[in-house]
Structure 1
């Protein structure tokens, strides 16, 4: 697999400074994919300030691309239908594998304390009587999406390697809910006994945001398991794009929190109760996510072996 680093990008730009503005002639519309972690209406609303910022900064039309599942975004970037996407770590690894290294990560989210990670969690109804994974044995456990890091890859990997059980054998059934919000909704409605989703901390995560948005009531959903920290997923681009285009869009993302602080708060789902909110972006490269690529390969081998 081929890889491309930010050092390579910088070298290419230095070698061809005259091309810096030329990419806009060929890419008058830039399409950026976002994953299906929440419903489409909220995804588009949350990303609108970013879209407006990028459009104004870059001087080209910017469109937000959504799909019904993670694979829709992966397929879109593999087919050159979109230029970039905000991936989770596992969906980035899927895109990297599917394109034979044809995507390059440039940025990930950074928190106030400098942290660049989050956690996979397992949730249940607080009144279900399920207080641990041991209590969940023989129950229906939902994963979010096959290409979700926190909603599938990390919990599946940890269930086998750390908790000592294979999900397909331990639970009565292991369906995919389709998204994180669908997983939580299924738990609330009793369709699933437990489900995998994610949180950044105990006041900021999928089910906490659903409470804030009025989608579910407070005190209905409880966490019963948490993974080790996961590196946040990256903004990644097709490697067949001009290097100066990748760098210029990357810089526009980096400037977003300072240029439009209120817009960034909406984009990052800012919660004033969160003592460690997202504050911006940090540069990353291909090596940062190599362990996720390897973990996905391990999971595929486990499933084939089963």
Structure 2
């Protein structure tokens, strides 16, 4: 009996310590770290984001610190190593965060026009003689191309498939010179005559019209992509549920007041809606299509290996198609 009582007392002590540690761990959540990719100058984005982060801090009762990075990869890595808790990504980088950094989509942005999506663009200078993708590809070996960040959806993945893969063109070898930069840099270098053609996006164009209207006037759009789902917000899936609940409540209700809409205006957003990882399904399709095209045209791969890899991709595509069909019917 004494042994039983001892075991029971030990169990109570262990449970109490566990509860205490849990309470302490919870009380230690004093800061939320928010990752933001600098698709334009960091100073511009810091000024635009701070009022929103201040409102988030007040609503959650904790400090909210921004983490600005010059490319998507740095924000993905920051989430992977628990340096940030939540981040604003493009769809391509969100896919990387979900697959490799324990990320989970919980919301997506709604544009100031009410759109839950945006479009990738190809731009040239207003005075450029080129007016179509066909003309650009015909003269590619004479031109400098401003490609997007490799983890950018609108700046890299979407034009990579619709402009280049569908035309059996490798931009790395087709152009006289290819550079990779963020959206704002691409636009400014085209406007300044330093790059002949570049990738861009409609949401970045709206921001450029606010921050650099004179430069926006110097751009000409020669291609627009199919609709891309609007940018997702991603949190670490292992974030405490209570913090998740508070974050989601704050995000999904933000934009209801005139003051909040004014805060979101510089980002060209009107609010947010709930989302999940299924938002990435069409992006996954694009990535697999692009990979399939690259492997098909790669003569350095032996036939047996090539067929095995292509078959695997085709199976993944079939599973994706079935998933998308199932969602559309539900």
Matched, 1:152 2:152: no
Aligned equivalents of 1:283 and 1:144: distance in 2? 28
Aligned equivalents of 2:233 and 2:23: distance in 1? 22
Aligned equivalents of 2:82 and 2:168: distance in 1? 41
Aligned equivalents of 1:297 and 1:244: distance in 2? 36
* TM-fit CA distance, 1:212: 2.6
- Relative to structure 1, the CA distance from residue 96 to residue 218 in structure 2 (aligned partners, 3 Å threshold; closer, same or farther) is closer
Report what 1:269 is aligned to: 266
* TM-fit CA distance, 1:148: 0.5
Report what 2:127 is aligned to: 127
Report what 1:220 is aligned to: 218
- Relative to structure 1, the CA distance from residue 218 to residue 106 in structure 2 (aligned partners, 3 Å threshold; closer, same or farther) is closer
Aligned equivalents of 1:24 and 1:126: distance in 2? 55
Q: Would you say how many aligned residue pairs link Structure 1 and Structure 2?
A: 272
* TM-fit CA distance, 1:128: 1.4
Matched, 1:238 2:236: yes
Q: Which moved more, 1:163-172 or 1:286-295?
A: 163-172
- Relative to structure 1, the CA distance from residue 115 to residue 215 in structure 2 (aligned partners, 3 Å threshold; closer, same or farther) is closer
TM-score (structure 1 length as normaliser): 0.80
Runs of 4+ more than 4 Å apart: 20-24, 111-114, 161-164, 300-306
Matched, 1:183 2:186: yes
* TM-fit CA distance, 1:170: 3.7
Aligned equivalents of 1:157 and 1:33: distance in 2? 27
Aligned equivalents of 1:63 and 1:161: distance in 2? 40
Report what 1:283 is aligned to: 274
Report what 2:317 is aligned to: none
Aligned equivalents of 2:149 and 2:112: distance in 1? 29
> Which of residues 249, 252, 256 in structure 1 aligns to 2:250?
252
Aligned equivalents of 1:152 and 1:158: distance in 2? 10
* TM-fit CA distance, 1:249: 0.6
Aligned equivalents of 1:130 and 1:296: distance in 2? 28
Aligned equivalents of 1:230 and 1:240: distance in 2? 28
Matched, 1:106 2:70: no
Aligned equivalents of 2:216 and 2:152: distance in 1? 25
Structure 2: gaps spanning 5 or more residues: 1-21, 299-330
* TM-fit CA distance, 1:243: 2.2
Structure 1: gaps spanning 5 or more residues: 1-19, 200-204, 271-276
Aligned equivalents of 1:262 and 1:130: distance in 2? 43
Aligned equivalents of 2:286 and 2:215: distance in 1? 35
Q: Decide which structure has greater helix share.
A: 2
* TM-fit CA distance, 1:189: 2.1
Query: CA deviation digits over 1:141-185, x for unaligned, max 9?
Result: 2112010000100110112454553333443333202x1011111
- Relative to structure 1, the CA distance from residue 123 to residue 21 in structure 2 (aligned partners, 3 Å threshold; closer, same or farther) is farther
User: What pairs up with 1:90-105 in 2 under 5 angstroms?
Assistant: 90-99=92-101, 102-105=102-105
Report what 2:319 is aligned to: none
SS in structure 2 at match of 1:30: strand
Over the residues paired in the alignment, what is the CA RMSD in angstroms? 2.5
SS in structure 1 at match of 2:133: coil
SS in structure 2 at match of 1:63: strand
Aligned equivalents of 1:22 and 1:294: distance in 2? 44
